[in-house]
Amino acid sequence: ETGVTQSPTHLIKTRGQQVTLRCSSQSGHNTVSWYQQALGQGPQFIFQYYREEENGRGNFPPRFSGLQFPNYSSELNVNALELDDSALYLCASSSKRAGELFFGEGSRLTVL
């Protein structure tokens, strides 16, 4: 059974650019959640996708958007990057059981 995989692992962008981060969910999981973890902070919920539809969103502006594909993989897109977007972006997949999120290792984004 493969776990959650994310790509790229590291990337550097400049202010105003756009970025796409990718996530493959764990086998058998149909729900994908994205979290932002700034340095020294706990992860913050961005949004969740269930069967290709957004199923909940945290306090993030519309320039954070996502997609889920029929195979349950997912993308996180961030437009008009700001310096404060520098963080570890975590993808997590889950099945029906409450709260058991399985996280990938994250994509570390640096915005200069």
Q: Which of residues 31-90 bind another protein (CB under 8 A)?
A: 31, 33, 35, 40-45, 48, 55-56, 58, 90
Whether 64 and 50 have beta carbons less than 8 Å apart is answered as: no
Q: Please state, in angstroms and rounded to a whole number, the distance separating the CA atoms of residues 92 and 98.
A: 13
* Per CB under 8 A, 28 contacts another protein: no
Of residues 39 and 62, the one with the C-beta less far from another protein: 39
The least distance separating another protein from the CB of residue 90, rounded to whole angstroms, comes to 5
Strand 107-111 with 10-13, pairing = parallel
| SS3 call for 55 | strand
The least distance separating another protein from the CB of residue 73, rounded to whole angstroms, comes to 16
